[in-house]
Amino acid sequence: MAELENPSLMPNLITYLSCLLQKVAESNDVNCRFQPQKVSVFHGLTRPTISIQSYLDRIYKYANCSPSCFIVAYIYLDRFAQKQPTLPINSFNVHRLLITSVMVAAKFMDDIYYNNAYYAKVGGISTTEMNYLEVDFLFGLGFHLNVAPNTFHTYFTYLQREIMLQPPPSNAESSLSLDRSLKVHLCFNEEESSHQNQQQQLAV
C-alpha cells in the first residue's frame, strides 16, 4: 500500500498506537480489581521500566520489517483480545504481546525476516521465552494468521483516519475501537464482505 511508504506516516502510527495501548493497559489495570483476569506467559512479575512508546519505537527501529507488519500486528492483537477475553492487555503483558505480535506478523508477511533470537534481543527477553511466547500467541489466535486485503484496508484506513482527525488518545476519551475491544470484544467484523458496512461498524 503506497500510503505506508509515506515517511511521516509510520512515526505517527507508532506514536498513536503507543498512546492507545498505554491507555488500554492502564484502564485494564484498574478493571482487574473487578473482573477476573488470567495470568499467562505474557505477564511479567513487575511492570517493565521502559515505556510502551519507547518499546515500540525500539521494535520499529531494529525489527526492519515492512510497514505492513505493524498493521497486521495490530490486527493480531485485536484477534487475540477477541479470542482471549480473560487475557486483556495490561501493564504487565503489553510489552511481550507487542514484540510477539510484530514478530509473528513479520514471519507471515515478509519474505525475509529475523529469527526468534534476534527478536528476543530486541524485546529484552531470552530466546527460550520468545519461543514460548510465539507458541502461546499462535494458539491464542487459533492460528488465524491470514489477513484478507479488505480486512487490512479496513484497519489501516481507520487508523489513518483517526490519526488525521484527532491527536493521540489522552487520559480523557478515545474513540478508537481498540480501546473498547481489547477490554471486551472486537467491533471489527472480518466476516463482512462490504467495506461500507465495516466502516459503519467502526463509527459506532
pLDDT at 70: 93
Give the chain's mean pLDDT: 79
From residue 2, how far is each of 9, 53, 69, 165 by CA, in Å? Answer: 11, 25, 14, 20
- Show me where the domains of the chain are located: 8-166+174-184
pLDDT at 173: 40
Q: Which three cell numbers stand for residue 159?
A: 487508523
Task: Compute, in degrees rounded to 10, the torsion defined by CA atoms 112, 118, 122, 127.
Answer: 130
pLDDT at 160: 83
At residue 163, does pLDDT exceed 90?
Answer: no
Amino acid letter, residue 102: V
At residue 170, does pLDDT exceed 60?
Answer: no
pLDDT at 79: 92
Q: Who contacts 53 (Cβ-Cβ below 8 Å, separation ≥6)?
A: 14, 15, 18, 19, 22
Average pLDDT over residues 169-183: 43
Q: Which is more confident, 170 or 87?
A: 87
Q: Is the pTM of this model over 0.85?
A: no
pLDDT, tens digit, for every residue of 101-145? 999 999 999 999 999 999 999 999 999 999 999 999 999 999 999
Whole-number Å distance between alpha carbons of 136 and 144: 13
Q: Which three cell numbers stand for residue 138?
A: 499462535
pLDDT at 33: 62
At residue 64, does pLDDT exceed 70?
Answer: yes
Whole-number Å distance between alpha carbons of 40 and 16: 26
Residue the block writes with cell 507508532: 14
Average pLDDT over residues 6-28: 84
CA angle 172, 79, 101 (to 5 degrees): 90
Looking at the structure, give the CATH architecture of the domain made up of residues 8-166+174-184.
Orthogonal Bundle (1.10)
